[in-house]
Amino acid sequence: MKLILPKPPFLEAQAKTEAPVLLVGFPLDITTSFRKGTALAPKKIREVSDSLESYSPRLAKDLCNLEFADWGTLELPESLEDSLKEIAFCAQKALKSSKFTFFLGGEHSITIGIAQALKKVEPSTNFIFLDAHLDARESYLKEKNSHASVLRRVAEMFPQSEIMALGIRSGSQEDFKFVQEKRIYYSENLFLPEKTLNLLKQKPLYLSLDIDVLDPSVAPGTGNPEPPGVNFADLLEFLYSLRGVNLIGMDLVEVSPPWDESDRTAIAAAKIIRETLLLFG
């Protein structure tokens, strides 16, 4: 496992390898179908994080006071299969040594490697996907571990009743047939009933956030923008509503800097990371 040191690291991250809160970049960009660029996201999001304050007025907390380390970016081999092995290995190490790890993509397929690690570390984990797309195809362009098959692969590893997909407004007929048959909860808005939220508090939770859940006017810098979408304030409110759950890990995927005029998608991503670290770290 080779990690490339972050230059610069994420806002206020400490230069050490052990901390209860970790950030690590997985620059995977292999199955991205429509337009590439996600490999550049970890570096770009770190760079623009400097434009933010470390203090969150909403949470009345400061990143300066959080024991948090940026591990840098994982060096990945050329093949998807080998890359997912590296990601699973690194994710397992991070999850075991921290209370909360933030994984920074890269394309959405990184979640498959992270889920393989979670299966070993915390097999009773629940999953919430925030995504415009269902990503439930058996395979896409002959690739089983495609970004378009992420939810399906996770549903093969974890009980379907423990997976929820929110923000969903796109998918093939096959995608929708799969989640309906498997009775996987999905909805177009980001709302979860109080009862579900209380149930979620009883088990470890993992959150996978595809930036394309946001409206493309808010986050245009992504591979497959899908209008309409969630606005930024509503996404933050949803994250705040999860306060009190045992979030052990989260990823943010599919930011694509070459398509991101004025870096606004990367800045939105950096703010989501700051708020999440302060909320769950």
C-beta of 212 vs 251, nearer to Mn ion? 212
* Measured distance CA(111)–CA(114) in Å, rounded: 5
Stretch that binds Mn ion, among 9-17, 68-76, 179-187, 212-220 (CB under 5 A): 212-220
Stretch that binds Mn ion, among 21-29, 110-118, 126-134, 183-191 (CB under 5 A): 126-134
Minimum Å gap between C-beta 172 and Mn ion is 13
Alpha helices for the chain (secondary structure H): 41-49, 80-97, 110-121, 150-157, 173-181, 194-200, 232-241, 264-280
Does 131 bind Mn ion (CB under 5 A)? Our answer is yes
C-beta of 32 vs 276, nearer to Mn ion? 32
Residue reference for tokens 């970004």: 147
Minimum Å gap between C-beta 131 and Mn ion is 4
Among residues 133, 137, 153, 271, which is the contact residue for Mn ion, using CB under 5 A? 133
Stretch that binds Mn ion, among 7-15, 117-125, 127-135, 229-237 (CB under 5 A): 127-135
Among residues 12, 122, 212, 215, which is the contact residue for Mn ion, using CB under 5 A? 212
* Measured distance CA(99)–CA(272) in Å, rounded: 18
Cα–chain center distance at 34: 20
* Measured distance CA(106)–CA(41) in Å, rounded: 7
Among residues 122, 175, 210, 275, which is the contact residue for Mn ion, using CB under 5 A? 210
Does 107 bind Mn ion (CB under 5 A)? Our answer is no
Q: What is the CA radius of gyration of the chain?
A: 17
Q: What are phi and psi of 135, to 5 degrees?
A: 55, 45
Residues that bind Mn ion (CB under 5 A): 131-133, 210, 212
